[in-house]
Amino acid sequence: MTEKSIWVFLERKGDGVEDTSLEVLGKARELSDKSGLPVTGVIPGTMDGGKLKKIINYGADKLLYLDEANLNNYSTDLYVHSLESIVREKLPEILLIGATPYGRDLAGRLAARLRTGLTANAVTLDVDDNGLLVSGVPAYGGKIIAEIVCEKSRPQMATVRPGTFKPYFNEKRNGEIETIRPDISGVRDRVRVRERKISDFLDLTKSKRTVIAGNGTRGDLGLVKEFADSIGADIGVTRPLADRGLISRDFQVGSTGYSLRSEIAVILGVSGSEHFTSGIKDCGTVISIDLNPKSEIFQHSDYCIVGDIFDLIPKAIEKMKVKM
């Protein structure tokens, strides 16, 4: 049976669900309230009933539970095949996927198979008066948000940047769970994740305090880390530092990195290009230090300190030591 609805692909993380998927599910709930289309979460792999019910609390009206142990770990071929089959059968209007590494891998291939349009890495989502999904992505160096619609083909697909939306939660929420046993016999399973180690990888989007280093730090991440530790903060960087390979891309803030929601962000030697500032717009208090009194970063800061990092930061670290 077909059902006009908004689907959210729920990526697995161990025996739970990836946070980005829950954020997207929360946004889908909001779109549902506006469009009247119900929200269906699609969860692959085996999971116990209690956990499935809990996912509904995050905003789903219904769950499609793809009950197949071979889907417990990500496999491009098996996931694409399973998703393609149920999408063709049930014809959702909209299909949203978190833009995680697996989500991006899945979405591109699935959209090509379904011959439909996909907006990659959306930072805004809305439905217009005609019920079309409007997905916003930064364009022209982040100066505008380009709004993309897919008028003709279905489902309208988008991947959503991690950390963009807040999850919804209502423990009283009820919903239906439909169990599907996908037929994956005969599917060539070429690349499969055998084991996913949840490492101590830092999810910057969850940091409450962040110290962000730019070119002005001359890449001295030792100093930056010492300062960050002294105030109990995580560190992030601008793109040039990640480009130079000084730190992994997982720490990059901005339009092609992560968007932060830190309560406090201390920004060191960053000029304030729009590519960067789009990643700090949802932070609480922003404190910036820059040599240049006319630095653009000060237009995006609550507290502006004109000075030399190499003079001020060692002093700040010393002060924190005295306090402790």
- Could you list the residues that contact ligand FAD (CB under 6 A)? 141, 214-216, 238-240, 252-257, 269-271, 273, 275-276, 289-292, 295, 308-310
- The nearest distance, CB 224 to ligand FAD, in angstroms, is 12
Q: How far apart are CA 11 and CA 23, in angstroms?
A: 12
Q: How far apart are CA 184 and CA 71, in angstroms?
A: 10
- The nearest distance, CB 102 to ligand FAD, in angstroms, is 21
Give me the phi and psi of 296, to 5 degrees please.
Answer: -60, -25
- The nearest distance, CB 247 to ligand FAD, in angstroms, is 12
DSSP states along 126-158: EE-TTS-EEEEEEETTTTEEEEE---SSSSEEE
Residue closer to ligand FAD (CB basis): 175 or 269:
269
Q: How far apart are CA 239 and CA 250, in angstroms?
A: 11
Residue closer to ligand FAD (CB basis): 94 or 313:
313
Residue closer to ligand FAD (CB basis): 32 or 238:
238
- The nearest distance, CB 223 to ligand FAD, in angstroms, is 11
- The nearest distance, CB 114 to ligand FAD, in angstroms, is 28
Cα end-to-end distance, the chain, whole Å: 64
Residue closer to ligand FAD (CB basis): 207 or 252:
252
Structure-block tokens of residue 297: 């970063």
Kindly state the helix (H) or strand (E) to which residue 310 belongs, with its residue range: helix 309-323
Structure-block tokens of residue 129: 């008066």
Chain position whose Cβ is nearest to ligand FAD: 254
Residue closer to ligand FAD (CB basis): 62 or 275:
275
- The nearest distance, CB 234 to ligand FAD, in angstroms, is 16
Residue closer to ligand FAD (CB basis): 182 or 216:
216
Residue closer to ligand FAD (CB basis): 167 or 240:
240
Give me the phi and psi of 59, to 5 degrees please.
Answer: 120, 0
> Is residue 238 left, alpha or beta, with left meaning phi > 0 and alpha meaning psi from -120 to 50?
beta
- The nearest distance, CB 313 to ligand FAD, in angstroms, is 9
Going by C-alpha positions, the residue among 217, 209, 316 that lies closest to residue 268 is 217
